[in-house]
Structure formats: C-alpha cells, structure tokens
C-alpha cells in the first residue's frame, strides 16, 4: 500500500519520472516473475540514494537495493516497501591507467567491455555476467576461474549509520559467492579495480571464447537467474541434479533446464511460487539421493509462505 506523503517526498528527491507505485517486479528481474513493489525508486546519484535510504529508515519503510535483478526471485505478492534501483542511472565508468572505477549500477559486462577496449586484462571472465558491479561485490561474482576478489581494489559503501566510506578489498572478507557486505548492512556505491596492461586482440579473443562456451552450454534463450545453486564443495550442482534424474523436471512454468541442469528457467508463464517449489523439490531430491544439501545462489525477496 502506498502513501501519497511518501510518494511526494520520493518525487522531490528523484523527480516524478523516476518514482513508481505498484511497479511489477517481473519487469526488473531476469526470471521475469514477481509481483508489485509498493514503491520503485530510481535515484540518479549517491546523494539521492542516501536521502532515500535515510527517509525509509526514519519512516519505517522497508527497502531493498536492486541492481539488474539477475540473481533475484521476487514473490508473487511483490514487496511491501521501496525497491531502490541503481542500475541505469548510477552507472558511470572511468579508467585511470590500469585502474577502473565504476558506480554500483554499472553492468559488469559493460565494465569488462571498456576494459577490453582499453587493452586491460583481468576482467574477461565478467564479460557474460549480467549483473551490476554492486551485486558482483556483494556476492564476489565469478565465472570460468575468475572472480571479483582477483581484481577488486576498493569498495565504497554507505554504512548503516549513513557514512560513506571506502574500504580496501582485503577487508571485505571475499569468499565463494560471499562477502561481509550483507552482514554489515553496507550498500555498495562503487568500486575500484586493478587490472593489467594487455593485448586488446588477445583480450577480445578470450572474451569471445568464453561467450561461445556460455552460448553452447547455458540456456541463454530463456529467462533465468543464472546458476540457481552454489557449487557444493567437492561436487557440481548441475551434475548432482542431473544424476538425480531431474533434467527437465517442471513445476508449472518453471523447469530444470534440459540444456544445463544447474539452471532453473521460466518456460513461459511461471510464477515465483513455481520457481520456489521447484527449488525446494530439487534440494530435497538431491539431499535424499546423495546426502548433499544444495544452497541457493538466488536471493528471495518478499513473502513465500504461501
């Protein structure tokens, strides 16, 4: 439920053209599912973001910081609060020598492309990752043997007390798909990365090779949130799911991809409940068959009790 008083304030900060009420989250997640958010806000710079967060805290409004929605499942009921999207507006990228500085809303793929154009190597692995830099820092995103901790130099965050601080990457507790950011309540505003000088042709060739591998092995033609589960130590989630006989297993419009069992895809008309039920079924079957408990890589937002 929205309140005109809150909408008026949000519009005073962002402008009326970047404030929405009852916005369907299916428009903003790569799963293409999700009900409406009470408020959907698109700040244009860190100062606007800080004002929005402070207002939400002062007025008891729940809020969620959204990037490109590439690792998120929003419930069919939507979100009772404010979704604050950094993607699109807070997305500046600048290059200084072998270092790249970018805002949290910049797409990782765009940062990788600009690095390649500047003959900088180290971000080739990120060329096909659909998320934003902010999300990549939060979860230490990675692929094909590379991950953010290999290139991160600093991360600039908004602390729960409202301070803007820049923290060395060595203090971010970066591990497999994890960092200290969620636990400390930080909001990523931007980051600096240290790359190395390289050969532009070789960098592009590597990125093209990785892109071809993705297209060959992953179901990129269907909505999904990428790898649905974290890699269990000593195993591959996709192989466990396949060996459990779940290739193509469906709940409603949600399906374990027939092309890559590590992906849950939206075959058309899937609901968030379909996806959540399928994930639960897959976890239960794999644990029953192999004694391995899969942990979702996807984040859940909203009420999934029903």
How does pLDDT run across 91-132, given as a tens digit for each residue? Answer: 999 999 999 999 999 999 999 999 999 999 999 999 989 999
Question: In the chain, how many H helices and how many E strands?
Answer: 8, 19
State the virtual CA torsion across 70, 77, 272, 73 in degrees, nearest 10: 20
The H or E element that residue 81 is part of is strand 79-85
Q: What is the pLDDT of residue 306?
A: 59
**Active site residues per annotation:** 177, 227, 297
Cα(200)–Cα(193) distance, rounded to whole angstroms? Answer: 18
> Which domains, from first to last, does the chain contain?
4-85 (3.30.43.10), 93-202 (3.30.465.10), 219-301 (3.90.78.10)
User: Which residues fall within 8 angstroms of residue 18, CB to CB, at 6 or more apart?
Assistant: 41, 42, 43, 44, 89
Q: How confident is the model at residue 2 (pLDDT cuts 50, 70, 90)?
A: confident
Which spans in 141-243 are helix H? 181-184, 200-217, 237-243
Q: Alpha-carbon distance 56 to 25, whole Å?
A: 19
Per-residue model confidence as pLDDT tens digits over 239-288: 999 999 999 999 999 999 999 999 999 999 999 999 999 999 999 999 99
């Amino acid at each position: 439920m929205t309140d005109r008083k809150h909408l008026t304030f949000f519009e005073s900060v962002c402008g009326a053209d970047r404030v929405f009420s009852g916005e369907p989250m299916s428009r903003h997640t790569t799963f293409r599912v999700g009900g409406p958010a009470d408020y959907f806000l698109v700040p244009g710079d860190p100062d606007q973001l800080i004002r929005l967060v402070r207002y939400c805290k002062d007025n008891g409004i729940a809020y969620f910081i959204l990037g490109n929605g590439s690792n998120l499942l929003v419930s069919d009921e939507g979100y009772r609060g404010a979704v604050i999207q950094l993607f699109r507006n807070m997305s500046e990228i600048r290059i200084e020598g072998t270092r790249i500085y970018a805002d949290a809303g910049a797409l990782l793929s765009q940062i990788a492309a600009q690095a390649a154009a500047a003959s900088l190597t180290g971000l080739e692995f990120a060329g096909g990752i659909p998320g934003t830099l902010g999300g990549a820092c939060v979860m230490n995103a990675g692929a094909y043997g590379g991950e953010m901790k290999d290139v991160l130099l600093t991360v600039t965050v908004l602390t729960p007390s409202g301070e803007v601080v820049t923290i060395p990457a060595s203090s971010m507790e970066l591990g497999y798909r994890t960092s200290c950011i969620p636990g400390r309540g930080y909001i990523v505003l931007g980051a600096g990365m240290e790359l190395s000088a390289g050969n532009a042709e070789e960098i592009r060739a590597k990125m093209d090779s990785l892109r071809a591998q993705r297209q060959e092995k992953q179901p990129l033609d269907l909505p999904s949130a990428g790898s649905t589960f974290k890699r269990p130590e000593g195993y591959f989630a996709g192989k466990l799911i396949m060996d459990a006989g779940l290739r193509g297993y469906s709940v409603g419009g949600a399906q374990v991809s027939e092309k890559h069992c590590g992906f849950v895809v939206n075959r058309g008309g899937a609901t968030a409940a379909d996806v959540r039920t399928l994930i639960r079924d897959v976890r239960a079957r794999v644990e029953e068959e192999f004694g391995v408990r899969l942990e979702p890589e996807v984040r859940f937002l909203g009420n999934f009790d029903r």
